[in-house]
Amino acid sequence: MTERMDLGTLAGEAYKGMARLDGFVAHSTLPKPLLELVRLRASQINGCAYCVDLHSSDAKAAGESDARLHAVAVWREAPFFTEQERAALAFTEAATRLSTDDLTDEVWEAAARCFSEPELAALVVAVAAINAWNRMAAATRMTPESYKP
């Protein structure tokens, strides 16, 4: 697979805008490990090799265990996740798969029980941002950092 273009160079202002979204999320009170799990799960769903590589590496560097990282794809069946993480992962899946009517009131209410209103707003932005990043990276076939020669 060959990268199609360097979108960061060709659309630098768009990248800066995306970085501002990420900055908003980074300054929220959402736990950083939870954010990496959210980013990883959305990236898995979207088939974004670059972002799966990036966020699994970032999560690992932040202290995530191999067992939890490997289980993100099957989080419903794995015992490793808290109620808050499960609510965030369910919301992430539902908001990533908008066309399947998964973003039900029940999913929203479960997330609302686990997060304050400002945290829930940050989660909404975090999921929207990673989905946009996934689409840009997948469309341009960005090469995962760990693979680059």
Task: Provide DSSP, 16-30.
Answer: HHHHHHHHHHHTSSS
**Confidence at residue 36, expressed as pLDDT on a 0 to 100 scale:** 97
Token duo for residue 87: 């609510």
**Confidence at residue 109, expressed as pLDDT on a 0 to 100 scale:** 97
**Confidence at residue 148, expressed as pLDDT on a 0 to 100 scale:** 66
Domain-by-domain residue ranges, the chain?
Answer: 31-140
- CA–chain centroid gap for 91, Å, is 11
**Confidence at residue 147, expressed as pLDDT on a 0 to 100 scale:** 83
Residues lower than pLDDT 50 in the chain: none
Question: What global pTM score does this model have?
Answer: 0.93
CA–CA gap between residue 26 and residue 23 (Å, rounded):
5
CA–CA gap between residue 38 and residue 30 (Å, rounded):
11
What number of other Cβ atoms are within 10 A of residue 76's Cβ?
11
**Confidence at residue 2, expressed as pLDDT on a 0 to 100 scale:** 85
- Check the CA dihedral 43-93-131-67 and report its sign: negative
Which class does domain 31-140 fall in? mainly alpha
**Confidence at residue 107, expressed as pLDDT on a 0 to 100 scale:** 96
**Confidence at residue 102, expressed as pLDDT on a 0 to 100 scale:** 87
